[in-house]
Amino acid sequence: MQQLLVSKSEPLTGTIPISGSKNGTLPLLAAAMLVEGETIIENVPAIHDVDTMLQMLRAVGIECTFIEPGVLKIDATDISSCQAPYHLVRQMRGSFYVAGPLLGRCGEAHVPLPGGCVIGSRPVDFHIAGFKALGAEVEETYGIMRAQAPRGLHGNRIYLDPRWCSVGATVNLMLAATLAEGTTIIENASYEPEVVACGQFLKQCGAQIDGIGSNMLTIRGVQRLEGIRFSSIPDRIEAGTFMYAATITGGDVLFKNVRPDHMTRVIEHLREAGARVETNETELRVIASNDRPRPVDITTAPYPGFPTDLQPAHGALVARAVGTSVLEETIFDARYNYTDELARMGADIRITGQLAIIKGVPELTGAPVEATDVRAAAALVLAALCAEGQTVIEGAEFLDRGYENFEAKLRAVGAPMVRRNSDNNKELLCLA
């Protein structure tokens, strides 16, 4: 295990460049599997989840090479296996994305079922129902989804549950339908920016997809895709996390390489909390005050609603608000796992079902706490930046799954933190 030692911070000041999106890049890597040739993807973040996905692609015979930092060449001319290894799916649910392309391209996919997850139950039943609707025969035995479509997939109408507009199911089914025969219509599709980017990538490769950016996708199957060069979108969750860091410390930080238009609801809520947020097309500046934040209620929702991935960051901010905030988590059933740790730091939080009622306190205090997932880890860092004394966060390695150079970026704007090995207290290098 690794731990992060974080002290109370002065207001953060300076510039933070934002990396390519984790949840935007993973679908692109899966989509590149459909191209019988070379694809170049730019703005690929150096994070653990991307590594895991690349291992997955290599495991089925695809060549992946970084030709320069952040620029990846994928050659999927040959796919030699349709079996995804369990140890990779287990590490990251996003690796289930290989199912759609394997099925579409090879007519067969054996992918272990991802199982449980600390933020909620996260089944893949919508993905599987969609594969069946496209004509695949699917068996789920011994923990593995075995899908077969020896005569190829056939377009159909797929109705996703409108309560969720599942990101993962939309991506997987769009990928499966791209090379299917005939027309597929996906109703209640997700239109998160990451899904839209994947659709745009496929379209530029020659796929015929209408309705990208809406909740109804019409996909007319094509026989093959051509490789292209494509850039991953900026990570709105990374940007959001650091915007909360700027606000929590009363800082003044400029963010470069961002898409403010992907972050409307987050910007709105930070302004409500008292921060000034200025934007242009690719930059965003947060100028916060030193006063305690105002309380702000949020409800997480599919895009363009407030993202569930920033709900923990919001909880950390309003833990010191002047008044009570109500958070409603509607996407995942166990995403308040960070709140017990915040309570150890002095936060006043009550959970009832999907709601977290957070009564702001004047001061948080440093404490030993434990992170259980990537966004919980980030939220604990945010809380620690405004807590008196030092906070020791166990599970710092979760940050590496989704944030490129997390500490280096925060330290560059003045946040005091070091990472060390929990076993021997040896300090670990923070790459600039």
Query: How far is residue 143's CA from residue 68's CA, in Å, rounded to a whole number?
Result: 38
Of 61, 123, 143, 368, the one binding ligand EPU (CB under 6 A) is 123
Closer CB to ligand EPU, residue 269 or residue 375?
375
User: Taking CB under 6 A as the rule, which mask of x and - marks residues 313-342 in contact with ligand EPU?
Assistant: ------------------xx----------
Q: Shortest gap between Cβ of 8 and ligand EPU (angstroms)?
A: 26
Q: Shortest gap between Cβ of 23 and ligand EPU (angstroms)?
A: 3
Q: Interface with ligand EPU includes 387 (CB under 6 A)?
A: no
Q: Per-residue DSSP letters for 156-220?
A: -EEE--TTT--HHHHHHHHHHHHTSBSEEEEET----HHHHHHHHHHHHTT-EEE-TTSSEEEEE
β 183-187/157-159 pair status? parallel
3-state secondary structure of 9: coil
Burial 123-144 (b: 16+ CB within 10 A, else e): ebebbbbbbebbbbebeeeeeb
Q: Interface with ligand EPU includes 9 (CB under 6 A)?
A: no
Query: How far is residue 187's CA from residue 216's CA, in Å, rounded to a whole number?
Result: 5
How far is C-alpha 102 from the geometric centre of its chain's CA atoms? Answer: 23
User: Taking CB under 6 A as the rule, which mask of x and - marks residues 262-291 in contact with ligand EPU?
Assistant: ------------------------------
Q: Shortest gap between Cβ of 29 and ligand EPU (angstroms)?
A: 11
Q: Which residues are catalytic?
A: 117
| Range in contact with ligand EPU (rule: CB under 6 A) among 139-147, 160-168, 212-220, 382-390 | 160-168
Query: How far is residue 423's CA from residue 47's CA, in Å, rounded to a whole number?
Result: 23
Q: Shortest gap between Cβ of 221 and ligand EPU (angstroms)?
A: 22
Give the sign of the dihedral formed by CA 299, CA 303, CA 308, CA 312.
negative
Query: How far is residue 394's CA from residue 175's CA, in Å, rounded to a whole number?
Result: 38
Least Cα distance to 420 among 379, 392, 400, 399 occurs for 392
Q: Interface with ligand EPU includes 359 (CB under 6 A)?
A: no
User: Taking CB under 6 A as the rule, which mask of x and - marks residues 165-204 in contact with ligand EPU?
Assistant: -xxxx-----------------------------------
Which residue, chain included where needed, has tokens 């070379």? 38
Closer CB to ligand EPU, residue 132 or residue 220?
132
Of 20, 45, 94, 104, the one binding ligand EPU (CB under 6 A) is 94
Q: Shortest gap between Cβ of 159 and ligand EPU (angstroms)?
A: 13
Strands lying side by side in the sheet with 183-187: 157-159, 183-187, 216-220, 208-210
Query: How far is residue 92's CA from residue 18's CA, in Å, rounded to a whole number?
Result: 23
Write out the two tokens for 156.
Answer: 């159909």
User: Taking CB under 6 A as the rule, which mask of x and - marks residues 11-40 in contact with ligand EPU?
Assistant: -----------xx--x--------------
| Range in contact with ligand EPU (rule: CB under 6 A) among 140-148, 162-170, 321-329, 408-416 | 162-170
Q: Shortest gap between Cβ of 142 and ligand EPU (angstroms)?
A: 20
Other beta carbons within 10 Å of 325: 23
Which residue, chain included where needed, has tokens 């409307």? 264
Q: Tell me the site size for ligand EPU, rule CB under 6 A.
A: 26
User: Taking CB under 6 A as the rule, which mask of x and - marks residues 388-427 in contact with ligand EPU?
Assistant: --------------x-------------------------
Q: Interface with ligand EPU includes 116 (CB under 6 A)?
A: no
Q: Interface with ligand EPU includes 43 (CB under 6 A)?
A: no
Where on the chain is the footprint of ligand EPU (CB under 6 A)? Answer: 22-23, 26, 93-94, 120-127, 164, 166-169, 307-309, 331-332, 374-375, 402
